[in-house]
Structure 1
Amino acid sequence: MNNNMDLNYEMFCYQCEQTANGKGCTKLGICGKTPEIANLQDLLIFQIKGISCYGKKLIDQGDHIDKDIVSFIENALFTTLTNVNFNAEDHVRLLKESQKIKERLRNLVGKINNPTAHATYDLPSAKSEMLKDSQIAGIMYDQSLDPDIRSLRQTIIYGLKGISAYGHQARELGYYSDQVDDFYITALESTTDDTLTADEMIRMTMKTGEIAVEVMKILDDANTEVYENPSPHKVNIKIKKGPFIIVSGHDLKDLEMLLKQTEGKGINIYTHGEMLPAHGYKGLKKYSHLVGNFGGAWQDQQKEFDNIPGCILMTTNCLMRPRDSYKDRIYSTNVVGWEGVKHIEKKSNGEKDFSEIIQQAIKLGGFKEDQESKEILVGFGHHATLGYAEKIVAAVHKGDVKHFFLIGGCDGARPGRNYYTEFAEMVPKDCMILTLACGKYRFNKLDFGETAGLPRLLDVGQCNDSYSAVRIATALSDAFDTDINGLPLSFIISWYEQKAVAVLLALLSLGIKNIYLGPTLPAFLSPNVLQYLGDTFDLKLISSAKDDIKTCLKQNI
């Protein structure tokens, strides 16, 4: 392939764990993304890089970028995250808006030094022409680019996509960080700079991890200050009689607005997927019609939503192609989208009108009878877990608790993820498990009992609650007068999409070593970059649960 790209070339994407053959999707995304969507997304990333070339000049002058521009960049990044938006018209609209913003900054900033095509390119008005131009934005377009530089650039971009998801959720609650907002610009601009060396790009990659920690802190502040700190709460995972709406994704504000608008209407609200931890927040669990959690992780949604007599609201990723059996009763909001799926927009005052989905749920009638209740325990964020800190430390000193395993991350459909179930089941009885993100659905309905008077399985929350896990680990390291790497603690991480990339970079930026990552290593890591991560952080690919547990237990202090 050369710069005159073969017209038969359709797409190239390797941003998720399930990419075709572990190398890259070239005909159709495993996620369901078409070449049209993939190429529009490439061009959108290309455009916000161009915007950032002008924005970087403003930052270098000591200015901040207007928050409406930052919000646009954040939403553009979030839109291109895996399993978020599959609607071509949404991408065309964002592309047209990107050109307006680029021209606005051009007029404000004037000339920039050594502009790249990202800055000088002007978007055509027709989608067909955009698609023709999109070849210049392809990951593999410049075949002369050093593969390590390409790898690091893409790692930064994928880290930014993960950061954008958390930044978006925090901003919806009125929280943001100027440090994060400026970094969107400086990091994007760095991926256009051909003068930067691999060492400089490695430093930018680690900085991406530092910003991931910062954005997770901001989101933690937003969630806990608006809805109060999570506390242990039992959640019913069986269905109840009556009309219902299932709320999937991560966005707590959308859930809150829906709970307010459905109060007193006889509608049961279920969480789904990553929304499960919402039950731990006082500001949300106070609603009596938040009755439980429906189903498992994201990849099971097609069979779980099939022909159900209720409605589904998708607030963030992960959206899969809706089956015809429920496409007329699934709704999207925020940056989520699929052609033909009803979308609920935000009004100028920040509120949303959920009346259509509410009325449809009532009309459908819901489940005909209750199932026998079964409960799981959630709500062990840093505030709740550290409330048990003295008890945990005492149990370790007594030898009642030998080791802690953080088993968490993204779930996915590809074979090999049973490793995480097997690992959790094989953890010795005198060890505790911390878990977070949708990877916990592999084992969170199992009964792990207690050790030293504490639940052996502590659900820390969503994937962004990796910040909580770090807070917990830091407090324990202080108690044991060591650093995190000196604790009897092992990180067993599953990854699927770009929020997991941000989390991994966050952990690496904190100097955490001996992380076990799987089911496979990212295709976008070049051999040299992978070697660097292995040598510097002892990053490991998972092997067998039995062998990995044995190795982890040798690290006990």
Structure 2
Amino acid sequence: MFCNQCEQTAKGTGCTVSGVCGKKPEVAALQDLLIYAVKGLSIYANEGRQKGVVNQEVNRFTTKALFTTLTNVNFDPKRFQEYINYCVELTTGIKDEISAAGGIVDFSDPASKLKPAAEMEGLIKQGEELGLPVDHGAGEDIKSLQLTTLFGIKGVAAYAHHAELLGQEDDRVYAYIHQALSAMGDRNLGLEDWVGFALKCGEVNLIAMELLDKANTVKYGQPVPTEVPLGHKKGKCILVSGHDLKDLEALLQQTEGKGINIYTHGEMLPTHGYPELKKYGHFYGHYGTAWQNQKNEFADFPGSIVMTTNCIQKPKDSYLESIFTVGTVGWPGLNHIENEDFTPAIEKALKMPGFSQDEDKGSVLVGFGHNAVLGVADKVIEAVKNGDIKHFFLVGGCDGAKPGRSYYTEFVEKAPDNTIILTLACGKFRFFDKKLGDIGGIPRLLDMGQCNDAYSAIKVATALAGAFDCGINDLPLSMVLSWYEQKACAILLTLLHLNVKNIRLGPSLPAFVTPNVLDVLVKNFNIQPIKTADEDLAELLA
């Protein structure tokens, strides 16, 4: 196997024996084969659009399939076998539609002619032989940009899939994904072409994040500042981890009146700020952090656990029976919830001991999405003009277990008292419970939400730039980001598309970015790897 899509890739180059995340070589091969199959499907979907053939099942499957290949989403070989076979079935169907519309149905690209092996062993061998559908014979810089685009597309697919589940879609997203995937490996495309595809990925990701923001807020209301308990109440319990609001809502509905308290974990913390979710009386608080200690946290949790998206590494065997996965998520040995019927997870929770007593561990504030922050924009602007607020830092992104992430805790702790910390995504769990005080009633630590809520940060930055009649890069605003997986790649490409400069990125740089590509990023956007908290604060505040 070879996998270099996440920040914790082995030796900073690539996982070759087994994934640091716990992914086995056979799963890596099946994921590569699924992406290869989706490329074949994309070739026809891209041609179909030229002839007015747009198949919504093809569109939706494309994002769902790509989502399953993100870091820590799905490690179940049987489900990948199902996805690969269904992908080829869809390809045959849309091929017939295109033929009837007078389009091209014979392509030289071998991905368009994939015939999956009948048995698992054969599929794994195919995946090992074919690998990812990039041009392996191209120069390293072009290959680097193709991988950057591909991994960014995976992030776009995740956000688009979540939005689609709540009824929000935009064919521009599907069209770009199909166009870009069908171009993978095209030797007629040069370096500038792939720079264009990568930046276009950032543009399309902005559309996808806007769709998801609309999907969440139309369905569940605009987030409002909300105090969330970090302790627990005596009684039965279920812990929900991941990102998906629709799954959380279904679980809240099905547990109402059953004497079970629902707790969030990881990126589900911001869901407490949504009015239509916080109205449930048994939606109590937040348990644990994100990556750092999550295995021990899960092992100690006295109820069942529901995983809605990627956010844990391989669970310990000792508590597999208490974990339930939903949707695209899957690991061998875990229970899977079908059709959003959470009965098995509920029954398991009722059999488990639950918490024996109440425990108060304090609380944190969430709910500072763009609507809430812009609602007090006049106070923020006045504070900046008066000199009460000197600088804004957006400190957020992915968390991870690799050493070096304590930098983000130290950075926030050392940021001067006249600065505001905006944060989002699971990276905030390095400092989310720090008591930083306020500036004129404005909390110094503002939790803007999940990783997809980078859209909120962009809206706030754009509004402030408009208020001060300047560009985003002229604001007293610095972005200090951590990354782990492919959604972070998509967000970074969005920031580059918006020409945001001077980003600090860490804890290490992507293994798939070559020195020449990095040099371009530094020259054009002044992206820099993080140094020490003291050094970066001194430079950013100079």
TM-score category (smaller protein): over 0.9
Match of 1:42 in 2: 32
Does 2:419 align with 1:431? yes
Does 2:275 align with 1:282? yes
TM norm structure 1 = 0.95
Q: In the TM superposition, what whole-angstrom CA distance separates every residue of 1:210-266 from its partner, at most 9, and x where no partner exists?
A: 001000000000111110100000000112110000000000010001001111111
| Structure 1 residue matching 2:317: 3-state secondary structure | coil
Match of 1:33 in 2: 23
Query: Contact 2:236 / 2:260 at 8 angstroms: preserved in 1?
Result: yes
Q: Which amino acid aligns with 1:187?
A: A
Shift of 1:142: 5.9
Shift of 1:366: 0.3
Shift of 1:64: 5.0
Shift of 1:362: 1.1
Match of 1:535 in 2: 523
Counterpart-to-counterpart distance in 1, 2:307 and 2:156: 19
Does 2:48 align with 1:55? no
Does 2:519 align with 1:526? no
Shift of 1:120: 2.1
Match of 2:233 in 1: 240
Shift of 1:365: 2.8
Shift of 1:373: 4.5
Match of 2:250 in 1: 257
Query: Contact 2:134 / 2:146 at 8 angstroms: preserved in 1?
Result: no
Q: In the TM superposition, what whole-angstrom CA distance separates every residue of 1:355-380 from its partner, at most 9, and x where no partner exists?
A: 11111111113010010241100000
Query: Contact 2:370 / 2:459 at 8 angstroms: preserved in 1?
Result: yes
TM norm structure 2 = 0.97
| Structure 2 residue matching 1:247: 3-state secondary structure | strand
Does 2:441 align with 1:453? yes
Shift of 1:190: 1.6
| Structure 1 residue matching 2:329: 3-state secondary structure | coil
Counterpart of 2:83 (choices 90, 94, 100) is 94
| Structure 2 residue matching 1:160: 3-state secondary structure | helix
Match of 1:107 in 2: 96
Counterpart of 2:466 (choices 471, 475, 478) is 478
Q: How does 1:109-188 map to 2 (within 5 A)?
A: 109-110=98-99, 111-112=104-105, 115-139=108-132, 143-188=136-181
Q: Which amino acid aligns with 1:362?
A: L
Shift of 1:324: 2.3
Query: Contact 2:136 / 2:143 at 8 angstroms: preserved in 1?
Result: no
Match of 1:508 in 2: 496
Shift of 1:137: 2.6
Query: Contact 2:45 / 2:58 at 8 angstroms: preserved in 1?
Result: no
Deviates further, 432-441 or 361-370: 361-370
| Structure 2 residue matching 1:181: 3-state secondary structure | helix
Q: Which amino acid aligns with 1:493?
A: L
Q: How does 1:304-343 map to 2 (within 5 A)?
A: 304-343=297-336
Q: In the TM superposition, what whole-angstrom CA distance separates every residue of 1:389-447 from its partner, at most 9, and x where no partner exists?
A: 00000001010000000000000000000000000001000000000000000001111
Q: Which amino acid aligns with 1:85?
A: N
Counterpart of 1:269 (choices 259, 262, 269) is 262
Query: Contact 1:250 / 1:316 at 8 angstroms: preserved in 2?
Result: yes
Match of 1:368 in 2: 356
Shift of 1:143: 4.7
Match of 1:216 in 2: 209
Percent identity (aligned): 49
Against the structure 1 CA distance between its residues 136 and 145, is the aligned structure 2 distance closer, same or farther, given a 3 Å change threshold? farther
> Which runs of 4 or more aligned residues in structure 1 lie more than 6 Å from their structure 2 counterparts after TM superposition?
none
Shift of 1:139: 4.3
Shift of 1:299: 4.5
Against the structure 1 CA distance between its residues 522 and 67, is the aligned structure 2 distance closer, same or farther, given a 3 Å change threshold? same
Deviates further, 106-115 or 369-378: 106-115
Shift of 1:104: 1.8
Q: Which amino acid aligns with 1:393?
A: I
Counterpart-to-counterpart distance in 2, 1:139 and 1:125: 21
Query: Contact 2:33 / 2:132 at 8 angstroms: preserved in 1?
Result: no
| Structure 2 residue matching 1:269: 3-state secondary structure | strand
Counterpart of 1:410 (choices 381, 392, 398) is 398
Q: In the TM superposition, what whole-angstrom CA distance separates every residue of 1:298-355 from its partner, at most 9, and x where no partner exists?
A: 3432111114320000000113212122101100011000111110122xxxxx2111
| Structure 2 residue matching 1:482: 3-state secondary structure | coil
Counterpart-to-counterpart distance in 1, 2:46 and 2:360: 58
Aligned length, in residue pairs: 538
Query: Contact 1:135 / 1:141 at 8 angstroms: preserved in 2?
Result: no
Match of 1:207 in 2: 200
Q: In the TM superposition, what whole-angstrom CA distance separates every residue of 1:116-142 from its partner, at most 9, and x where no partner exists?
A: 111122212111111121134324996
Match of 1:6 in 2: none
Match of 2:287 in 1: 294
Counterpart-to-counterpart distance in 2, 1:539 and 1:102: 40
| Structure 2 residue matching 1:513: 3-state secondary structure | coil
Shift of 1:146: 1.4
Query: Contact 1:96 / 1:125 at 8 angstroms: preserved in 2?
Result: no
Shift of 1:108: 2.9
Deviates further, 520-529 or 491-500: 520-529
Query: Contact 1:379 / 1:461 at 8 angstroms: preserved in 2?
Result: yes
Q: In the TM superposition, what whole-angstrom CA distance separates every residue of 1:1-51 from its partner, at most 9, and x where no partner exists?
A: xxxxxxxxxx00000000000000000000000000000000100110011
Does 2:368 align with 1:380? yes
- The two structures, once aligned, show a CA RMSD in angstroms of 1.3
Against the structure 1 CA distance between its residues 24 and 373, is the aligned structure 2 distance closer, same or farther, given a 3 Å change threshold? closer
Q: Which amino acid aligns with 2:86?
A: E
Query: Contact 2:370 / 2:448 at 8 angstroms: preserved in 1?
Result: yes
Shift of 1:183: 1.5
Q: Which amino acid aligns with 1:48?
A: V
Shift of 1:274: 0.3
Q: Which amino acid aligns with 2:362?
A: K
Counterpart-to-counterpart distance in 2, 1:138 and 1:117: 13
Q: In the TM superposition, what whole-angstrom CA distance separates every residue of 1:513-540 from its partner, at most 9, and x where no partner exists?
A: 0010000110011122111111111111
